[in-house]
C-alpha cells in the first residue's frame, strides 16, 4: 500500500475463505486509502476467558498504537463488521472519535444462524464417501469447537495428520470459535443497542433475499448510515468486475467522512 495514502482505515476481515479477496480489496482502495488489515490472533489464544472482550482489547491496542491521535476509520467484512462495531464502542468509551464505519455485507437483521444438527453423521458419511480433506474437516470442526472440547481440538490440530487435514481443521475451528464469541457478545448487549453517531455505510450485495432490509439491520445503531447496493453475492462482490465500483464507492465515502 502506498506510503502517500491520504487516510488510514483499519479493516477487520471475516473468517471464511475470503483472504485473497480482502487483500485485493485493500489493494483496490490504494493509494487513496492505506488499508491496514487487523490480526485477530488465533483461536487457542482466545479460549482462556472465552469472551470477545479479550480480542477487542487486542484490536483496540493495535489500532491506538498505529493511530495515537485523531479520528479512527474502521471497516469490516462479514463477521468482521460485527467485531468492528464492538471495537468502535470500546474506542469511543476510551475517548477516541470514530470517523467512519464501513460495513461490507454483514447482515445483523436475523441474528446468529442456529447450529446445524447432525454434524457427526455428516462427518461419518463424508469419510465413508472419501470426500476431500477440507469437507471432512468442516464437519469435524463443529463438534470440536464447543468450549468443553477445545483442549482436545488443540491437541488434534498439533498431531501429524495426513495431507492438509490439520490445516483445514484448524481454520474451520477458528471460524466456529470466533462466530460463537461474537454471537455471545451480541446477546449480552443492552436493549436498545448502543448507538454510534459517526458516518457509516453498509455495502449490501444484490444477491440477498428481497425480504432482507436494505440496511441489513444496522440503521438503528448507526443512524447516520448510507446503504449502497453492490453487484454480486457475499463473496463475489469482492471479485472483478464488482470489485472496482465497490472499492471506488467505499473510498469516496471514507474520504468524505
Q: What is the pLDDT of residues 136-154, one digit of tens each?
A: 888 888 888 888 888 888 8
User: How far apart, in whole angstroms, are the C-alpha atoms of residue 254 and residue 32?
Assistant: 10
Name the average pLDDT for the chain: 88
> How much is the average pLDDT of 202-224?
94
pLDDT of residue 148: 85
Taking Cα atoms as reference points, which of 220, 253, 210 lies closest to residue 104?
Answer: 253
* 80 shares its domain with 24: yes
59 vs 91: CA distance, rounded Å:
10
CA trace torsion 203, 84, 238, 111 (10° rounding) = -70
Same structural domain for residues 142 and 229? Answer: no
For the entire predicted model, the pTM comes to 0.88
Question: Tens of pLDDT along 124-138?
Answer: 676 666 677 788 888
| Residue 60 is assigned to a structural domain of this protein | yes
Q: What is the CATH number of the domain that holds 13?
A: 3.40.50.1820
- pLDDT (mean) for 90-116: 85
Among 184, 203, 231, give the residue marking a domain's end.
184
Residue-level pLDDT at 4? 46
On whether both 203 and 179 belong to a single domain, the answer is no
CB 12 within 8 A of CB 39: no
Rounded mean pLDDT of 93-120?
80
Say how many CA atoms lie within 13 Å of 202 toward its Cβ: 27
Do 22 and 60 belong together in one domain? yes
- In the 8-state DSSP scheme, what is residue 39? P
Beta-sheet strand order (sheet of 98-104): 33-37, 7-12, 72-77, 98-104, 199-205, 225-230
For the chain, what is the domain count?
2
Residue 1 lies in a domain: no
The stretches of 112-207 forming alpha helices (DSSP H) are: 119-129, 133-144, 150-158, 165-188
Phi, psi of 226 (to 5 degrees): -105, 140
Higher pLDDT, 203 or 168: 203
Q: What is the average per-residue pLDDT within 47-73?
A: 92
Last residue of a domain, which of 150, 184, 218?
184
CA distance between the termini of the chain: 21
* 43 vs 57: CA distance, rounded Å: 15
| Residue 2: pLDDT band with limits 50, 70, 90 | very low
> Residue 26 falls within a domain, yes or no?
yes
Residues 16 and 102 in one domain: yes
* Same domain? 106 vs 124: no
114: pLDDT strictly greater than 60: no
**3-class SS at 66?**
helix
Per-residue pLDDT tens over the stretch 37-50: 998 888 888 877 78
Asked if the structure places residue 208 within a domain, the reply is yes
What share of the chain has pLDDT > 70, as a percent?
A: 88
Instruction: Return the residue matching grid coordinates 471464511.
Output: 16
Hey, CA dihedral for 94, 48, 172, 112, is it positive or negative? negative
Q: Are residues 87 and 196 in the same domain?
A: yes
Claim to verify: residue 194 and residue 178 sit in the same structural domain: no
Whether residue 220 has pLDDT greater than 60: yes
237-254 per-position pLDDT tens digit: 999 999 999 999 999 999
Clarify whether residues 22 and 106 are in a common domain: yes
148 vs 160: which has the higher pLDDT:
148
Regarding whether 167 and 215 lie in a shared domain, the answer is no
Examine the fold and report which residue of 130, 158, 184 is the final residue of a domain before the chain moves on.
Answer: 184
Structural domain contains residue 58: yes
Same-domain pairing of 194 and 160: no
In this prediction, residue 3 carries a pLDDT of 44
| 198 and 132 co-located in one domain | no
* Domain assignment of residue 163, given as a range: 119-184
Q: Looking at the domain assignment, is residue 82 inside a domain?
A: yes
Looking at the domain assignment, is residue 2 inside a domain? no
Amino acid at each position: 500500500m502506498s506510503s502517500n495514502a491520504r487516510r488510514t482505515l483499519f479493516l477487520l476481515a471475516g473468517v471464511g475463505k475470503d483472504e485473497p479477496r480482502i487483500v485485493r480489496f485493500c489493494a483496490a482502495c490504494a493509494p487513496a486509502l492505506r488499508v491496514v488489515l487487523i490480526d485477530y490472533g488465533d483461536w487457542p489464544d482466545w479460549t482462556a476467558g472465552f469472551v470477545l472482550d479479550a480480542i477487542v482489547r487486542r484490536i483496540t491496542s493495535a489500532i491506538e498504537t498505529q493511530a495515537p491521535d485523531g479520528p479512527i476509520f474502521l471497516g469490516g467484512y462479514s463477521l468482521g463488521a460485527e467485531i468492528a462495531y464492538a471495537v468502535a464502542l470500546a474506542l469511543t468509551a476510551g475517548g477516541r472519535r470514530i470517523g467512519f464505519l464501513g460495513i461490507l455485507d454483514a447482515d445483523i437483521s436475523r441474528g446468529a444462524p442456529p447450529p446445524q444438527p447432525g454434524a457427526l453423521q455428516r462427518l461419518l458419511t463424508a469419510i465413508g464417501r472419501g470426500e476431500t480433506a477440507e469437507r471432512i474437516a468442516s464437519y469435524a470442526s463443529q463438534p470440536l469447537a464447543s468450549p468443553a472440547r477445545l483442549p482436545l481440538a488443540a491437541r488434534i490440530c498439533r498431531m501429524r495428520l495426513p495431507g492438509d487435514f490439520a490445516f483445514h481443521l484448524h481454520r474451520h475451528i477458528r471460524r466456529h470459535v470466533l462466530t460463537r464469541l461474537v454471537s455471545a457478545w451480541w446477546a449480552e448487549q443492552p436493549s436498545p443497542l448502543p448507538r454510534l453517531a459517526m458516518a457509516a455505510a453498509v455495502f449490501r450485495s444484490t444477491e440477498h433475499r428481497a425480504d432482507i432490509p436494505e440496511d441489513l439491520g444496522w440503521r438503528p445503531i448507526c443512524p447516520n448510515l448510507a446503504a449502497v447496493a453492490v453487484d454480486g453475492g457475499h463473496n463475489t462482490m469482492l471479485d472483478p468486475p464488482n470489485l472496482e465500483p465497490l472499492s471506488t464507492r467505499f473510498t469516496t465515502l471514507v474520504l468524505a467522512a
